[in-house]
Amino acid sequence: MAIHVSLSVNGNPVSADIDPRTLLVQLLRENLHLTGTHVGCDTSQCGACTVMVNGRAVKSCSALAAQFQGAEVTTIEGVAAANGDMHPMQAAFKECHGLQCGFCTPGMIMCAIDIAQRNLDVTEALVREQIRGNMCRCTGYHNIVKAIQLGAANMGGA
């Protein structure tokens, strides 16, 4: 039995008939072909699947798509400006070399945007605390932390 879900993804209205067990990450990757949202662990531990839902970071591998009826979802594909300019957080990750293999990067950037939007003072300690749910297996945390701090400063704080 399929259910109908309608939501906005990266500013575009989306509707789909899906199995009620469909995870948000599956809807994004398999139905909408937005493969920037990665699946790393399937248990909500690594954060590679992080997207923004109604302005807050959500791990999409542990959330049913049907939960987001009417929601505004933003994936890594939707953070750049319409003219193609990188989001300030993306630019900071590039400038600070806040990536190595790149697998964690989309989820890390989405988490970082959430951190920057919710906090006026994005300190190293705050960043290290709040990215605990996002794993980088290349151990690039020092540059990731620097990138998040620079990105937050370039975004202008909360």
Of the options 1.10.150.120, 3.40.47.10, 3.20.20.80, 1.10.287.130, the CATH number for the domain spanning 88-155: 1.10.150.120
Residue type at 51?
V
Residue spans per domain, the chain: 3-78, 88-155
The mean pLDDT value of the chain amounts to: 94
The residues, any chain, with a CB within 8 Å of residue 110's CB and separated by 6 or more, are 50, 51, 52, 57, 74, 75, 76, 79
Mean pLDDT score, 101-129: 95
- pLDDT tops 80 at residue 157: no
Tens of pLDDT, residue by residue over 38-69, are 998 878 889 999 999 999 999 999 999 999 99
Mean pLDDT score, 8-33: 97
Which residue's structure tokens are 């319409």?
82
Quick one: pLDDT at residue 110? 98
Distance CA 86, CA 103 (A): 18
The CATH superfamily label for domain 3-78 reads: Beta-grasp domain (3.10.20.30)
Quick one: pLDDT at residue 98? 94
- Portion of the chain with pLDDT greater than 90, in percent: 87
Task: Please tell me the pTM assigned to this model.
Answer: 0.93
